[in-house]
A = this chain, B = another copy of it.
Amino acid sequence: MTFEEILKKHGADIIALRRKLHHNPELSKQEFLTTTILQEFLEQKGITVTKPLKTGLVASIKRGKGKVIAFRADIDALPVKEETSLDFASGHENVMHACGHDGHAAILAFTLLCFLEDPSWQGEVRGIFQPSEEMYGGAKPMLASGALSGVDMIFALHIWPELEEGVLASTAGTIMASNDRFSITIKGKSAHGATPHLGTDPIVSACNLVLALQTLISREIAPWEGAVLTIGNISSGTAYNIIPAETILNGTIRTLNNTTRDKLEKGLLRLCDHTAKAFGTEAVVEYVEQYPPTINHLEALKLVQNNLPADLTYREVEHPSMAAEDFAYYLQEIPGALLFLGSGTKEYAYPLHHSKFNFNEKLLTYGAKLFHRVGKAYLSQS
């Protein structure tokens, strides 16, 4: 079957699938109904799936002997109250597929159908429907479950309203940043505000630290390393006239490579330790490594560029996104690439995470055709 024939046969089902997923959004780690919907859809089409985790699926189509290519879709939704007027708008209060994961899952299902209906390839095509991308990081347990074992190359895409519809953008190298989280407690000694010499002021110590941390970005990393350190939250004290015992800071560090990431973590610890001590206070730091940078492999990106469907135009991203993706973990293991599938039009202009976000459903076709072509090209390499 040609792609056009496959589209004719399954296109309406895919749209129905996407709408059903959209109508039933579920938060990270809670994608039970989503998993069931996908499982039933795939099994009904004749594709067998396994469930290595509580939520999410791995589907596989094998044919003869050859390489193994995987595609990954994330399937969780966001704590956003949907404000579209779609027929199939969220049926769950304050949860919405505002990040396009319903589209990602439908594209992956469509891709699997393409390979199912197309006899002209050998090897294995694997579809990873991964839970918990928005929070908790479902990629790590999925990898731990063996979902990637034997896979030679992997691709994922993200619907991207900042780019026009019809554009496929990516880059060899870092496409999305790492995202680490830190929490700092500055411990001083409480006293009445009228007698500061009887206490140790954690607010003054913490404020000095906030300024000092700016220099990690302005002085300690190369200008082209492109990292960010943000304190998103500071809180201390309850009364205007009492020096509190401690001040708490929470923040994030974003980097484009693990070297910079390590350097900033070390720098943060050094600055916290010593600026706290300088003021007679103590810093207790919890540093949580979250998603690493998402670093595309050149060979995978070239495969995409060389097998682009006519519907799409390739463009180099202007710069990496400072947002993070747990697809990064897959690319630490095997070659692959993350691709941004442009969805922006006058009609579909809302950004990701917006309560009115939506996309043209022809993206489902674009995505599946792309993955089908790229996958076949890869599997046909000797």
Q: How distant is the Cα of A187 from the Cα of B197 in the complex, in angstroms?
A: 31
Q: How distant is the Cα of A340 from the Cα of B224 in the complex, in angstroms?
A: 18
Chain B residues, CB < 8 A from A134: none
> Is A132's CB within 8 Å of the partner chain B?
no
Q: Are A232 and B179 in contact (CB under 8 A)?
A: no
Q: How distant is the Cα of A201 from the Cα of B211 in the complex, in angstroms?
A: 12
Q: Are B232 and A235 in contact (CB under 8 A)?
A: no
Residue on B with the closest CB to A221? Answer: B197
With an 8 Å Cβ cutoff, the count of chain A residues facing the other chain is 71
Query: Known interface pairs A219-B201, A274-B278, A275-B278. Does A230 touch B226 (Cβ–Cβ under 8 Å)?
Result: no
Interface string of A259-293 (1 = CB under 8 A from B): 00000000000110111011110000000000000
Q: How distant is the Cα of A107 from the Cα of B273 in the complex, in angstroms?
A: 54
Q: How distant is the Cα of A177 from the Cα of B233 in the complex, in angstroms?
A: 34
Comparing A115-123, A144-152, A238-246, the segment that makes contact with chain B is: A238-246
Q: Is the interface of A mostly helix, strand, loop or mixed?
A: mixed
Q: How distant is the Cα of A182 from the Cα of B193 in the complex, in angstroms?
A: 13
Q: Are A210 and B207 in contact (CB under 8 A)?
A: yes
Q: How distant is the Cα of A230 from the Cα of B237 in the complex, in angstroms?
A: 12
Q: How distant is the Cα of A297 from the Cα of B97 in the complex, in angstroms?
A: 42
Q: Are A181 and B234 in contact (CB under 8 A)?
A: no
Question: Of the candidates B216, B229, B236, B271, which one forms a contact with A234 in the assembled complex, judged by CB atoms under 8 Å apart?
Answer: B236
> Is A307's CB within 8 Å of the partner chain B?
no
Question: Of the candidates B220, B223, B232, B250, which one forms a contact with A322 in the assembled complex, judged by CB atoms under 8 Å apart?
Answer: B223
Q: How distant is the Cα of A192 from the Cα of B222 in the complex, in angstroms?
A: 12
Can you list 6 A-B pairs with a CB-CB distance of less than 8 A?
A194-B228, A201-B215, A223-B322, A241-B251, A270-B280, A271-B278
